[in-house]
Amino acid sequence: MKELLSMDATTLATKIQNGEVTPIEATGAYIKHIHRVNPRLNALIQPRFQQAKQEAKQLYQQYLAGNGSGRLFGVPVSIKESFYVKGMKTTGGLPSRRNHVDEQDAEAVRRLKAEGAIILGKTNTPSLCFCQETDNTVYGRTNNPWNLERTAGGSSGGEGVLIAVGGAAVGIGADIGGSIRFPAHFNGVIGFKSGKKQVSSEGCFPPLREPLQENMLGIGALAKSVNDAELVHNIIADRPTPPVDIKQFQFLIPPAHPALPMQPETAETIDQIRSHLSETYIVHNDLPPFLEESALMWQLIMSVDGGKALMNLAGRRGFATILYEFLKSRIGLKPNLHFYLTWALLGANLFKPSPAQWQQMLAELEQAEQVVDQYLRNRVLILPVYHSAAPKHGKLYSEIFSIRRTFLKFMPYISYANTFGLPVLTVPVATDQGGLPIGIQLITALGQEYALFRVGKYFEQQFRGYVRCSAYD
Protein backbone atom coordinates (compact mmCIF):
# COMPACT_ATOMS: atom_id res chain seq x y z
CA MET A 1 0.00 0.00 0.00
CA LYS A 2 2.78 2.46 0.91
CA GLU A 3 4.35 1.85 -2.48
CA LEU A 4 1.07 2.84 -4.11
CA LEU A 5 0.81 6.02 -2.03
CA SER A 6 4.24 7.17 -3.21
CA MET A 7 3.56 6.18 -6.82
CA ASP A 8 3.01 8.98 -9.31
CA ALA A 9 -0.09 9.08 -11.50
CA THR A 10 1.79 8.17 -14.67
CA THR A 11 3.13 4.96 -13.13
CA LEU A 12 -0.20 4.10 -11.52
CA ALA A 13 -2.05 4.58 -14.81
CA THR A 14 0.37 2.18 -16.50
CA LYS A 15 -0.04 -0.42 -13.75
CA ILE A 16 -3.82 -0.18 -14.01
CA GLN A 17 -3.65 -0.64 -17.78
CA ASN A 18 -1.37 -3.65 -17.29
CA GLY A 19 -3.72 -5.22 -14.73
CA GLU A 20 -1.20 -4.97 -11.88
CA VAL A 21 -3.48 -2.68 -9.85
CA THR A 22 -7.23 -2.22 -10.16
CA PRO A 23 -9.07 1.11 -9.86
CA ILE A 24 -10.88 -0.40 -6.88
CA GLU A 25 -7.60 -1.18 -5.07
CA ALA A 26 -6.12 2.22 -5.83
CA THR A 27 -9.20 4.16 -4.77
CA GLY A 28 -9.60 2.13 -1.59
CA ALA A 29 -5.98 2.62 -0.62
CA TYR A 30 -6.15 6.39 -0.99
CA ILE A 31 -9.44 6.69 0.88
CA LYS A 32 -8.08 4.63 3.76
CA HIS A 33 -4.95 6.76 3.87
CA ILE A 34 -6.92 10.03 3.85
CA HIS A 35 -9.02 8.84 6.80
CA ARG A 36 -5.77 8.25 8.69
CA VAL A 37 -3.82 11.43 7.89
CA ASN A 38 -6.41 14.13 7.31
CA PRO A 39 -7.56 14.82 10.91
CA ARG A 40 -4.22 16.46 11.76
CA LEU A 41 -3.71 18.15 8.40
CA ASN A 42 -7.19 19.28 7.31
CA ALA A 43 -6.23 19.10 3.64
CA LEU A 44 -9.25 17.35 2.11
CA ILE A 45 -12.38 19.20 3.23
CA GLN A 46 -15.05 17.70 0.97
CA PRO A 47 -14.80 13.93 0.52
CA ARG A 48 -16.41 12.23 -2.45
CA PHE A 49 -15.63 8.72 -1.31
CA GLN A 50 -18.86 6.87 -2.06
CA GLN A 51 -19.06 8.20 -5.60
CA ALA A 52 -15.37 7.48 -6.10
CA LYS A 53 -15.81 3.85 -5.02
CA GLN A 54 -18.77 3.42 -7.37
CA GLU A 55 -16.83 4.93 -10.26
CA ALA A 56 -13.87 2.66 -9.52
CA LYS A 57 -16.11 -0.39 -9.76
CA GLN A 58 -17.63 0.85 -13.02
CA LEU A 59 -14.22 1.52 -14.54
CA TYR A 60 -12.97 -1.89 -13.49
CA GLN A 61 -15.91 -3.50 -15.25
CA GLN A 62 -15.09 -1.46 -18.35
CA TYR A 63 -11.50 -2.66 -18.11
CA LEU A 64 -12.57 -6.29 -17.88
CA ALA A 65 -14.74 -5.75 -20.95
CA GLY A 66 -11.77 -4.37 -22.85
CA ASN A 67 -12.98 -0.75 -22.75
CA GLY A 68 -10.44 0.74 -20.37
CA SER A 69 -9.05 3.83 -22.05
CA GLY A 70 -7.85 7.26 -21.00
CA ARG A 71 -4.52 8.67 -19.87
CA LEU A 72 -5.69 8.71 -16.24
CA PHE A 73 -7.97 5.68 -16.44
CA GLY A 74 -8.83 4.58 -12.89
CA VAL A 75 -6.39 7.02 -11.26
CA PRO A 76 -7.67 8.73 -8.05
CA VAL A 77 -7.10 12.51 -8.07
CA SER A 78 -7.91 15.50 -5.88
CA ILE A 79 -9.26 18.91 -6.85
CA LYS A 80 -8.79 22.36 -5.34
CA GLU A 81 -12.08 23.57 -3.86
CA SER A 82 -12.22 26.52 -6.25
CA PHE A 83 -12.97 24.27 -9.25
CA TYR A 84 -16.58 23.33 -9.86
CA VAL A 85 -17.26 19.59 -9.61
CA LYS A 86 -20.80 18.58 -10.46
CA GLY A 87 -22.73 17.63 -7.34
CA MET A 88 -20.13 19.04 -4.92
CA LYS A 89 -19.90 22.39 -3.15
CA THR A 90 -17.78 25.41 -3.98
CA THR A 91 -17.89 27.67 -0.93
CA GLY A 92 -14.81 29.77 -1.50
CA GLY A 93 -14.43 29.55 2.27
CA LEU A 94 -17.52 31.75 2.73
CA PRO A 95 -20.28 30.82 5.19
CA SER A 96 -22.84 32.33 2.80
CA ARG A 97 -21.94 29.67 0.21
CA ARG A 98 -22.06 26.62 2.49
CA ASN A 99 -24.95 25.15 0.52
CA HIS A 100 -23.87 26.11 -2.98
CA VAL A 101 -23.87 22.94 -5.11
CA ASP A 102 -22.04 22.88 -8.43
CA GLU A 103 -24.30 22.15 -11.37
CA GLN A 104 -21.50 21.32 -13.78
CA ASP A 105 -17.78 20.58 -13.91
CA ALA A 106 -15.10 23.16 -14.48
CA GLU A 107 -13.52 22.69 -17.90
CA ALA A 108 -10.27 21.37 -16.42
CA VAL A 109 -12.21 18.89 -14.29
CA ARG A 110 -14.25 17.77 -17.29
CA ARG A 111 -11.06 17.01 -19.20
CA LEU A 112 -9.60 15.01 -16.33
CA LYS A 113 -12.80 12.97 -16.04
CA ALA A 114 -12.78 12.37 -19.80
CA GLU A 115 -9.39 10.69 -19.37
CA GLY A 116 -10.76 8.34 -16.71
CA ALA A 117 -9.69 10.14 -13.53
CA ILE A 118 -11.59 9.36 -10.30
CA ILE A 119 -12.14 12.40 -8.09
CA LEU A 120 -11.64 11.67 -4.39
CA GLY A 121 -12.74 15.09 -3.16
CA LYS A 122 -11.94 18.76 -2.84
CA THR A 123 -9.10 20.38 -0.91
CA ASN A 124 -8.92 23.47 1.26
CA THR A 125 -8.17 27.07 0.23
CA PRO A 126 -8.15 30.51 1.89
CA SER A 127 -11.32 32.57 1.56
CA LEU A 128 -11.90 33.43 -2.10
CA CYS A 129 -8.33 32.20 -2.75
CA PHE A 130 -7.28 35.76 -1.93
CA CYS A 131 -4.12 35.12 0.05
CA GLN A 132 -1.22 32.70 0.25
CA GLU A 133 -2.13 30.94 3.53
CA THR A 134 -4.86 28.32 3.69
CA ASP A 135 -7.42 29.16 6.36
CA ASN A 136 -11.09 30.17 6.30
CA THR A 137 -14.14 30.34 8.58
CA VAL A 138 -15.90 27.40 6.90
CA TYR A 139 -13.26 24.66 7.00
CA GLY A 140 -10.49 26.07 9.19
CA ARG A 141 -6.73 25.90 8.80
CA THR A 142 -4.62 23.45 6.81
CA ASN A 143 -1.28 22.42 8.34
CA ASN A 144 2.07 21.68 6.74
CA PRO A 145 2.75 17.92 7.07
CA TRP A 146 6.47 18.39 7.69
CA ASN A 147 5.73 20.60 10.69
CA LEU A 148 2.17 21.25 11.83
CA GLU A 149 3.15 24.68 13.17
CA ARG A 150 4.18 25.82 9.68
CA THR A 151 2.07 27.16 6.84
CA ALA A 152 0.86 24.98 4.00
CA GLY A 153 0.95 28.00 1.70
CA GLY A 154 -1.92 28.91 -0.56
CA SER A 155 -4.17 29.28 -2.14
CA SER A 156 -3.79 25.65 -3.28
CA GLY A 157 -2.59 24.72 0.20
CA GLY A 158 -4.88 21.75 0.71
CA GLU A 159 -3.70 20.29 -2.61
CA GLY A 160 -0.04 20.72 -1.73
CA VAL A 161 -0.49 19.01 1.64
CA LEU A 162 -2.58 16.11 0.33
CA ILE A 163 -0.09 15.31 -2.43
CA ALA A 164 2.82 15.65 0.01
CA VAL A 165 1.44 12.84 2.19
CA GLY A 166 0.34 10.72 -0.77
CA GLY A 167 -3.40 11.32 -0.34
CA ALA A 168 -4.03 11.26 -4.10
CA ALA A 169 -2.08 10.30 -7.18
CA VAL A 170 -2.10 13.88 -8.49
CA GLY A 171 -4.13 17.07 -8.01
CA ILE A 172 -4.81 20.38 -9.69
CA GLY A 173 -4.63 23.96 -8.50
CA ALA A 174 -4.66 27.51 -9.83
CA ASP A 175 -2.10 30.28 -9.43
CA ILE A 176 -2.56 34.05 -9.78
CA GLY A 177 -0.05 35.05 -7.11
CA GLY A 178 1.98 31.98 -6.21
CA SER A 179 -1.02 29.82 -5.37
CA ILE A 180 0.51 26.67 -6.86
CA ARG A 181 4.16 27.52 -6.25
CA PHE A 182 3.96 28.42 -2.55
CA PRO A 183 2.29 25.08 -1.63
CA ALA A 184 4.66 23.15 -3.92
CA HIS A 185 7.69 24.80 -2.33
CA PHE A 186 6.50 24.61 1.29
CA ASN A 187 5.22 21.02 1.09
CA GLY A 188 7.86 19.51 -1.19
CA VAL A 189 5.82 18.60 -4.27
CA ILE A 190 6.05 19.35 -7.98
CA GLY A 191 3.94 22.31 -9.11
CA PHE A 192 3.22 23.64 -12.59
CA LYS A 193 1.61 26.99 -13.39
CA SER A 194 0.50 27.27 -17.00
CA GLY A 195 1.17 30.42 -18.99
CA LYS A 196 -1.23 33.07 -20.22
CA LYS A 197 -4.60 31.57 -21.29
CA GLN A 198 -3.14 28.12 -21.97
CA VAL A 199 -5.76 26.44 -19.78
CA SER A 200 -9.41 27.46 -19.63
CA SER A 201 -10.51 29.06 -16.36
CA GLU A 202 -14.16 28.23 -17.05
CA GLY A 203 -15.73 26.93 -13.87
CA CYS A 204 -13.14 28.44 -11.51
CA PHE A 205 -14.32 30.37 -8.47
CA PRO A 206 -14.10 33.25 -7.98
CA PRO A 207 -14.52 34.13 -11.66
CA LEU A 208 -12.14 36.69 -13.13
CA ARG A 209 -13.60 39.77 -14.82
CA GLU A 210 -10.41 41.78 -15.39
CA PRO A 211 -8.56 40.57 -18.54
CA LEU A 212 -5.13 41.25 -17.05
CA GLN A 213 -5.98 39.10 -14.03
CA GLU A 214 -7.00 36.31 -16.38
CA ASN A 215 -3.65 36.69 -18.14
CA MET A 216 -1.88 36.22 -14.80
CA LEU A 217 -3.82 33.08 -13.85
CA GLY A 218 -2.26 29.68 -14.48
CA ILE A 219 -3.84 26.27 -13.88
CA GLY A 220 -1.85 23.09 -13.45
CA ALA A 221 -0.85 20.09 -11.41
CA LEU A 222 0.45 19.62 -7.91
CA ALA A 223 2.18 16.33 -8.38
CA LYS A 224 4.70 13.69 -7.34
CA SER A 225 6.70 13.88 -10.55
CA VAL A 226 7.44 16.19 -13.46
CA ASN A 227 6.03 13.45 -15.70
CA ASP A 228 2.68 13.93 -13.99
CA ALA A 229 2.83 17.72 -14.29
CA GLU A 230 3.46 17.37 -18.01
CA LEU A 231 0.74 14.74 -18.42
CA VAL A 232 -1.89 16.84 -16.64
CA HIS A 233 -0.90 19.94 -18.59
CA ASN A 234 -1.27 18.12 -21.89
CA ILE A 235 -4.72 16.93 -20.80
CA ILE A 236 -6.15 20.24 -19.61
CA ALA A 237 -4.36 22.70 -21.93
CA ASP A 238 -6.13 23.96 -25.04
CA ARG A 239 -3.10 23.17 -27.20
CA PRO A 240 -0.42 20.48 -26.86
CA THR A 241 3.05 21.56 -25.80
CA PRO A 242 5.19 21.91 -28.94
CA PRO A 243 8.65 20.29 -28.86
CA VAL A 244 11.71 22.54 -28.73
CA ASP A 245 15.42 21.83 -29.12
CA ILE A 246 16.60 21.82 -25.54
CA LYS A 247 20.24 21.89 -26.72
CA GLN A 248 19.68 25.47 -27.86
CA PHE A 249 18.67 26.63 -24.38
CA GLN A 250 20.77 28.56 -21.87
CA PHE A 251 20.35 28.82 -18.10
CA LEU A 252 19.92 32.07 -16.17
CA ILE A 253 20.53 32.14 -12.43
CA PRO A 254 20.72 35.72 -11.13
CA PRO A 255 22.73 36.57 -8.03
CA ALA A 256 20.93 37.38 -4.80
CA HIS A 257 19.19 40.71 -5.28
CA PRO A 258 20.41 43.24 -2.68
CA ALA A 259 16.89 44.65 -2.16
CA LEU A 260 15.16 41.26 -1.77
CA PRO A 261 15.53 39.15 1.40
CA MET A 262 17.04 35.69 1.20
CA GLN A 263 17.60 33.23 4.04
CA PRO A 264 21.08 31.62 4.05
CA GLU A 265 19.82 28.08 3.35
CA THR A 266 17.81 29.28 0.37
CA ALA A 267 20.80 31.22 -0.97
CA GLU A 268 23.04 28.18 -0.48
CA THR A 269 20.56 26.03 -2.42
CA ILE A 270 20.60 28.43 -5.37
CA ASP A 271 24.42 28.51 -5.25
CA GLN A 272 24.54 24.70 -5.33
CA ILE A 273 22.27 24.65 -8.36
CA ARG A 274 24.47 27.23 -10.11
CA SER A 275 27.65 25.31 -9.30
CA HIS A 276 26.17 22.01 -10.47
CA LEU A 277 24.95 23.38 -13.80
CA SER A 278 28.16 25.32 -14.43
CA GLU A 279 30.08 22.05 -14.63
CA THR A 280 28.27 21.19 -17.87
CA TYR A 281 26.41 24.24 -19.16
CA ILE A 282 26.93 27.95 -19.66
CA VAL A 283 25.08 29.73 -16.87
CA HIS A 284 24.40 33.47 -17.06
CA ASN A 285 23.99 35.46 -13.86
CA ASP A 286 22.33 38.69 -14.98
CA LEU A 287 19.17 39.93 -13.26
CA PRO A 288 16.04 39.43 -15.38
CA PRO A 289 14.44 42.63 -16.67
CA PHE A 290 11.58 44.15 -14.64
CA LEU A 291 12.06 41.78 -11.69
CA GLU A 292 11.44 44.40 -9.00
CA GLU A 293 8.83 46.25 -11.05
CA SER A 294 6.75 43.09 -11.50
CA ALA A 295 5.58 43.13 -7.86
CA LEU A 296 4.02 46.59 -8.14
CA MET A 297 2.42 45.75 -11.49
CA TRP A 298 0.99 42.58 -9.94
CA GLN A 299 -0.43 44.49 -6.98
CA LEU A 300 -2.04 47.16 -9.18
CA ILE A 301 -3.67 44.52 -11.39
CA MET A 302 -4.99 42.63 -8.36
CA SER A 303 -6.33 45.86 -6.81
CA VAL A 304 -7.72 47.47 -9.96
CA ASP A 305 -11.29 47.61 -8.65
CA GLY A 306 -10.31 48.15 -5.02
CA GLY A 307 -11.55 44.66 -4.12
CA LYS A 308 -15.15 45.51 -4.97
CA ALA A 309 -15.89 42.35 -6.96
CA LEU A 310 -14.63 40.06 -4.18
CA MET A 311 -16.44 42.10 -1.55
CA ASN A 312 -19.69 41.56 -3.45
CA LEU A 313 -19.03 37.81 -3.71
CA ALA A 314 -18.48 37.77 0.03
CA GLY A 315 -22.00 39.13 0.42
CA ARG A 316 -20.95 42.45 1.91
CA ARG A 317 -22.12 45.83 0.60
CA GLY A 318 -19.73 48.65 1.30
CA PHE A 319 -16.34 48.63 2.97
CA ALA A 320 -17.83 49.65 6.30
CA THR A 321 -19.16 46.10 6.65
CA ILE A 322 -15.74 44.67 5.70
CA LEU A 323 -14.10 46.87 8.32
CA TYR A 324 -16.67 45.73 10.88
CA GLU A 325 -15.91 42.09 10.11
CA PHE A 326 -12.19 42.73 10.44
CA LEU A 327 -12.59 44.53 13.77
CA LYS A 328 -14.71 41.67 15.15
CA SER A 329 -11.84 39.27 14.54
CA ARG A 330 -9.38 41.62 16.23
CA ILE A 331 -11.39 42.05 19.45
CA GLY A 332 -12.18 38.37 19.96
CA LEU A 333 -15.66 38.16 18.45
CA LYS A 334 -16.44 35.43 15.96
CA PRO A 335 -16.43 36.89 12.44
CA ASN A 336 -18.25 35.51 9.43
CA LEU A 337 -15.28 36.28 7.22
CA HIS A 338 -11.70 35.33 8.04
CA PHE A 339 -9.53 38.33 8.88
CA TYR A 340 -7.08 37.26 6.16
CA LEU A 341 -9.78 38.14 3.65
CA THR A 342 -11.12 41.29 5.31
CA TRP A 343 -7.67 42.80 5.84
CA ALA A 344 -6.70 41.97 2.23
CA LEU A 345 -9.88 43.60 0.93
CA LEU A 346 -9.22 46.71 2.99
CA GLY A 347 -5.73 46.79 1.56
CA ALA A 348 -7.04 46.40 -2.00
CA ASN A 349 -9.29 49.39 -1.42
CA LEU A 350 -6.49 51.42 0.14
CA PHE A 351 -4.02 50.72 -2.67
CA LYS A 352 -6.43 50.84 -5.59
CA PRO A 353 -4.62 52.46 -8.55
CA SER A 354 -5.68 55.90 -9.66
CA PRO A 355 -6.68 56.32 -13.33
CA ALA A 356 -3.29 57.92 -14.03
CA GLN A 357 -1.43 55.09 -12.27
CA TRP A 358 -3.41 52.50 -14.20
CA GLN A 359 -2.70 54.05 -17.59
CA GLN A 360 0.98 54.38 -16.78
CA MET A 361 1.10 50.77 -15.65
CA LEU A 362 -0.61 49.57 -18.84
CA ALA A 363 1.99 51.33 -20.98
CA GLU A 364 4.86 49.94 -18.92
CA LEU A 365 3.39 46.44 -18.92
CA GLU A 366 3.04 46.36 -22.70
CA GLN A 367 6.67 47.26 -23.14
CA ALA A 368 7.86 44.95 -20.35
CA GLU A 369 6.03 41.91 -21.75
CA GLN A 370 7.85 42.27 -25.06
CA VAL A 371 11.23 42.68 -23.39
CA VAL A 372 10.71 39.72 -21.05
CA ASP A 373 9.48 37.47 -23.85
CA GLN A 374 12.58 38.18 -25.95
CA TYR A 375 14.83 37.80 -22.91
CA LEU A 376 13.48 34.31 -22.18
CA ARG A 377 13.56 32.95 -25.74
CA ASN A 378 15.66 29.75 -25.66
CA ARG A 379 16.36 30.35 -21.99
CA VAL A 380 15.31 28.90 -18.66
CA LEU A 381 15.36 31.28 -15.72
CA ILE A 382 15.94 29.73 -12.29
CA LEU A 383 14.64 31.62 -9.27
CA PRO A 384 13.89 30.80 -5.63
CA VAL A 385 10.21 30.49 -4.80
CA TYR A 386 10.46 32.42 -1.55
CA HIS A 387 13.20 33.70 0.72
CA SER A 388 12.74 30.78 3.14
CA ALA A 389 11.16 27.39 3.63
CA ALA A 390 7.69 27.27 5.18
CA PRO A 391 7.37 29.91 7.95
CA LYS A 392 5.08 29.65 10.96
CA HIS A 393 1.36 30.14 10.42
CA GLY A 394 0.57 33.81 9.79
CA LYS A 395 4.09 35.03 9.04
CA LEU A 396 3.81 34.68 5.28
CA TYR A 397 0.55 36.63 5.32
CA SER A 398 2.04 39.42 7.42
CA GLU A 399 4.99 39.74 5.03
CA ILE A 400 2.84 40.03 1.92
CA PHE A 401 -0.20 41.92 3.25
CA SER A 402 1.49 44.59 5.33
CA ILE A 403 0.29 48.18 5.18
CA ARG A 404 3.98 49.06 4.77
CA ARG A 405 3.83 47.46 1.31
CA THR A 406 6.50 44.92 2.14
CA PHE A 407 5.15 42.84 -0.77
CA LEU A 408 7.52 44.94 -2.90
CA LYS A 409 10.47 43.04 -1.43
CA PHE A 410 8.81 39.69 -0.67
CA MET A 411 6.84 39.10 -3.89
CA PRO A 412 9.07 39.78 -6.94
CA TYR A 413 10.32 36.19 -7.30
CA ILE A 414 6.71 34.99 -7.30
CA SER A 415 5.01 37.86 -9.13
CA TYR A 416 7.39 37.74 -12.09
CA ALA A 417 5.69 34.72 -13.72
CA ASN A 418 2.17 36.00 -12.96
CA THR A 419 2.66 39.57 -14.15
CA PHE A 420 4.01 38.46 -17.51
CA GLY A 421 1.83 35.36 -17.91
CA LEU A 422 4.77 32.95 -17.96
CA PRO A 423 4.75 29.16 -17.52
CA VAL A 424 6.70 28.02 -14.47
CA LEU A 425 7.60 24.66 -12.96
CA THR A 426 8.46 24.28 -9.26
CA VAL A 427 10.71 21.39 -8.26
CA PRO A 428 11.81 20.46 -4.70
CA VAL A 429 15.61 20.36 -4.63
CA ALA A 430 16.68 20.50 -0.95
CA THR A 431 15.60 20.76 2.68
CA ASP A 432 16.57 23.17 5.43
CA GLN A 433 18.04 22.14 8.78
CA GLY A 434 14.56 21.52 10.13
CA GLY A 435 13.68 19.12 7.31
CA LEU A 436 11.39 21.58 5.54
CA PRO A 437 11.47 21.37 1.74
CA ILE A 438 13.03 24.02 -0.48
CA GLY A 439 11.98 24.34 -4.11
CA ILE A 440 13.13 26.30 -7.13
CA GLN A 441 11.21 27.86 -9.99
CA LEU A 442 12.02 27.10 -13.63
CA ILE A 443 10.57 29.87 -15.83
CA THR A 444 10.57 30.37 -19.58
CA ALA A 445 8.71 32.15 -22.36
CA LEU A 446 5.22 31.15 -23.44
CA GLY A 447 5.27 28.18 -25.79
CA GLN A 448 8.53 26.75 -24.43
CA GLU A 449 6.98 24.56 -21.75
CA TYR A 450 8.61 21.48 -23.24
CA ALA A 451 11.98 22.84 -22.07
CA LEU A 452 10.70 23.29 -18.51
CA PHE A 453 9.56 19.68 -18.31
CA ARG A 454 12.85 18.37 -19.71
CA VAL A 455 14.93 20.48 -17.33
CA GLY A 456 12.58 19.69 -14.43
CA LYS A 457 13.07 15.96 -14.91
CA TYR A 458 16.81 16.48 -14.77
CA PHE A 459 16.56 18.39 -11.49
CA GLU A 460 14.26 15.89 -9.78
CA GLN A 461 16.75 13.14 -10.66
CA GLN A 462 19.85 15.06 -9.58
CA PHE A 463 18.42 16.65 -6.43
CA ARG A 464 15.66 15.97 -3.90
CA GLY A 465 12.58 15.69 -6.07
CA TYR A 466 9.34 14.47 -4.50
CA VAL A 467 9.71 12.61 -1.20
CA ARG A 468 6.43 11.54 0.38
CA CYS A 469 5.89 12.67 3.96
CA SER A 470 5.20 9.41 5.81
CA ALA A 471 5.03 10.84 9.34
CA TYR A 472 1.30 10.06 9.66
CA ASP A 473 1.26 6.56 8.19
Q: Which residue, among 322, 226, 247, has the nearest Cα to 10 in the 3D structure? A: 226
CB 201 within 8 A of CB 174: yes
Told to judge if 179 belongs to the known catalytic residues of this protein, a careful annotator would answer yes
Question: Exposed e or buried b for every residue in 369-396, given b needs 16+ CB within 10 A?
Answer: beebeebbeebbbbbbbbbbbbbebeeb
Strands, E, within 243-335: which ranges?
Answer: 250-252, 283-284
What DSSP assignment string belongs to 176-213? SSSTTHHHHHHHT-EEEE--TTSB--TTBSSPP-SHHH
DSSP conformational letter for 402: -
Q: In whole angstroms, what is the distance from residue 329 CA to residue 337 CA?
A: 9
Q: How far is CA 60 from CA 15, 64, 161, 191, in A?
A: 13, 6, 29, 30
Catalytic pick from 15, 80, 113, 193? 80
CB 21 within 8 A of CB 39: no
Query: How, if at all, do strands 76-80 and 118-123 pair?
Result: parallel
Told to judge if 80 belongs to the known catalytic residues of this protein, a careful annotator would answer yes
Catalytic pick from 78, 82, 127, 155? 155
CB 46 within 8 A of CB 81: yes
253 — alpha (psi -120 to 50), left (phi > 0) or beta? beta
Q: In whole angstroms, what is the distance from residue 366 CA to residue 242 CA?
A: 25
Q: Which residue, among 143, 186, 163, has the nearest Cα to 437 in the 3D structure? A: 186
**234 contact partners, CB below 8 Å, separation of at least 6:** 240, 241
Q: In whole angstroms, what is the distance from residue 365 CA to residue 420 CA?
A: 8
DSSP conformational letter for 74: T
**327 contact partners, CB below 8 Å, separation of at least 6:** none
Catalytic pick from 82, 156, 179, 294? 179
Q: Which residues are catalytic?
A: 80, 155, 179
